[in-house]
Structure 1
């Protein structure tokens, strides 16, 4: 059985931030020139084919980042008590342990989607197997740093 990997895949500013001071991602859109877009350099759809679990925080979930994950199991870290749906599992507790247990089962890799608080937990637990970091050519100056 192939070991499932936990893969962190996100965008980061030149100065190391993954979100602005409000937790937003509008800065990722750039200036309208699409020559350097990730889609032109990297096959996102192929990446999605290699995963079957997505892990995200409640803020990311609330922002509607689910369109690409309809056929995946999505784990949402939250402090709220919410009811699971067909493919969404709300986790109020130690999500790192739950995902590590999932990694011991047969399946594809795990996409650590974000946000920052969730990523911090995985970094502190030292359980991220692979980092895919797209560097956006902008300087935010402040916000949520990745490291």
Structure 2
């Protein structure tokens, strides 16, 4: 059975995006060899990537252009792995190996039963919130960037039910960021 894993980069005050769409400038604070290796390790364990509509569009635009660039190995995984775009409004998905799912909360449990690798949800704040509320995540992985953004889009909004988590790992990075991994108890 697949594990559903959330992966996000957040600021210390909980923002995963700035005030404008795709304002991810704080990612530069934590990027380095350690995070690149973690990214590759995660992608090697993945057999499916899951995105909300907005993140899907942005990732597709970025990664389809990155394959020949500096991010070659990561781009090969991002472009080659099967992808799920969760959206009730998305009509087409041009990024190769993509299937559109209209009701993520209903479909993700079925998809978890169909494989043995990891399913990663990257970014996708609204989708992550829905999947959290439904209790579908097997693990939450965050990289905390050493910054206070003060405004933008919070990863965890109000309305998420109380859930006790067990810490699996807390690992500082040379860049000043910290990787934390939790599982629901």
Calculate the TM-score normalised by the size of structure 1: 0.83
**C-alpha distance 39-7 of structure 1, shift in aligned 2 (>3 A):** farther
Say whether the 8 Å CA contact 2:2–2:112 is kept in structure 1: yes
Partners of 1:81 and 1:146 lie apart in 2 by 22
CA RMSD between the two structures = 2.0
Give structure 1 stretches of 5+ with no counterpart. 31-35
Mind listing any 5+ residue stretches in structure 2 that lack a counterpart? 64-74, 157-185
Give me the whole-angstrom Cα distance separating, in 1, the residues matched to 2:28 and 2:97: 29
Higher relative contact order (CA 8 A, sep 6+): 1
> By how many angstroms is 1:21 displaced?
1.8
Instruction: Say which structure is richer in helix.
Output: 2
Q: 2:33 aligned with 1:39, yes or no? A: yes
CA distance in 1, matches of 2:26, 2:90: 32
Offset at residue 84 of structure 1 (A): 4.9
Structure 2 length as normaliser, TM-score?
0.67
- Once the two structures are TM-superposed, the CA of residue 40 in structure 1 deviates from its matched residue by 1.8
- What is the total number of aligned residue pairs between the two structures? 139
